[in-house]
Amino acid sequence: MDQTFSMRLGYVAMSVLLANASPSQTMTVKQFEQITDKEAGIRKLERIASSNIQNCLRLLKHNKAHDIRFFRLSSRLVPLANHPLTEGWKFERALLPLLREMGEFIHNEKMRVDFHPDHFVVLNSKSKAILQQSLKTLVMHYKLLKGMGISPVHRCVLHVGGKKEGREEGLEQFITNFSLIPVEIQRMLMLENDDVTYPIEDVLYLGEKLHIPVVFDLHHYDVNQQSTELYTLWERVVRTWKDSPLPVKIHLSSPKEGKGDRRHHDFIDSKRFQEFLSIAAGTVDHLDVMIEAKKKDAALLKLIEDFQAIQGIEAKSPNSINVLSRVLSS
């Protein structure tokens, strides 16, 4: 029984199994503006952010109990951190003790964590204002990672962005804007194919040209593809990770209703994933799989159960999965 490669599973930001542990509590701009004393408003933001980080640490401890050591951190840990109303707020200083505590836990438990900023963070806009706001948001993520003592290299997943001027123009604008941002932020990025505008071929064009690792999203590929030559495309994806300190990462979700549905299902279609694994076999030694199902950690644990019935996959825990050569013929 020859082992082909190992995998570990992760999930996104919040648990459906752990109660009262939201890492994304917030304050609206209107609520902040209604506080007449700005310093009092900042202190309230810091209390909310502290609660978010404490809840995130609870989530990480919950993950440890289930041997889940891959996790996407919420990009909403610190509300309004990148808003003009809080200009000059050194949130990373106020929250440093909590960030350090969380970072030490992540390090000690050998967990991989990263971020996926919201869709409005784009680097291919011709608008200087949009680019600057996107950069400000990315700098916020950089400060959080540094506060945790985690290397920022390849920790933020982005989509390419919009196509207001056309797809090709959008790709070239991304290249132009990428050259304008600090090297530390450049090295923080990973790029993902999306489900509407930029298929994996476009993302590989940028990843190969700019030396950015490409995160392959299987669901997005299924609903937005130019080519059915997935094996060749996948080999190119793997090569974009050759200089990364982190293993190759993919995103995994399933359509809610029918093959072409862009919406995410509560759980994962293990049969479609098995088909992909037969392509990945022999191309990587290890694969990190980020599950983007609506049921979060429950979907992850259900997938582990499903693996038990698949010949060629040995799933001891979410952190210890071996995909064997038998999966090729299953």
pLDDT over threshold 70, residue 275: yes
Q: What is the DSSP letter of 115?
A: B
pLDDT score of 4: 87
| DSSP character at residue 15 | -
Confidence (pLDDT) at 1: 44
β-bridge partners, 190: 157
Q: What pLDDT score does 329 carry?
A: 52
Measured CA to CA, the distance from residue 287 to residue 24 in angstroms comes to 28
Mean pLDDT, residues 301-307 taken together: 97
pLDDT per position as a tens digit, 119-166: 899 999 999 999 999 999 999 999 999 999 999 999 999 999 998 888
Q: What domains lie within the chain, and their CATH numbers? A: 3-329 (3.20.20.150)
Digit-coded pLDDT (tens) for 56-86:
999 999 999 999 999 999 999 999 999 999 9
For residues 225 and 303, which has the higher predicted lDDT (pLDDT)?
303
Indicate the range of 9-18, 51-60, 61-70, 224-233 predicted with least confidence: 224-233
pLDDT of residue 2: 59
Please, which residues bridge with residue 214 across strands? Answer: 191
pLDDT in tens, 102-117: 999 999 999 999 999 9
- Residue 171's pLDDT is what? 97
Helix, strand or coil for residue 316?
Answer: strand
> Rounded mean pLDDT of the chain?
95
Rounded to a whole number of angstroms, the CA Rg of the chain reads 20
73/238 Cα distance (integer angstroms): 24
Asked whether residue 3 carries a pLDDT value surpassing 90, the answer given is no
Q: For the whole prediction, is pTM greater than 0.85?
A: yes
Q: Specify whether the CB–CB gap between 65 and 21 falls below 8 A.
A: no
CA nearest to 41, candidates 88, 102, 74: 88
Residue 302 or residue 227, greater confidence: 302
- Return d(Cα 246, Cα 240) in angstroms, integer: 12
Would you say residue 260 has pLDDT above 60?
yes
The answer, yes or no, to whether residue 325 has pLDDT greater than 90, is: no
The residue ranges of DSSP E strands in 187-231, in sequence order, are 189-192, 214-217
Residue of 9, 70, 2 whose CA lies nearest to 323: 2
Q: pLDDT tens for residues 238-258?
A: 999 999 999 999 999 999 998
The pLDDT tens digits of the residues spanning 165-190 come to: 889 999 999 999 999 999 999 999 99
| Cα 261 to Cα 264: distance, rounded to the nearest angstrom | 8
Sign of the alpha-carbon torsion through 46, 49, 51, 53: negative
**48, 70, 49, 47: which is closest to 60 by C-alpha?**
70
pLDDT at 227: 78
For residue 183, give every residue at least 6 positions away whose Cβ sits within 8 Å of its Cβ, in sequence order, or none.
none
CB neighbour class for 58 (10 Å; exposed up to 12, middle 13-18, buried from 19): middle
Each residue of 244-256: b (16+ CB within 10 Å) or e?
beebbbbbbbbbe
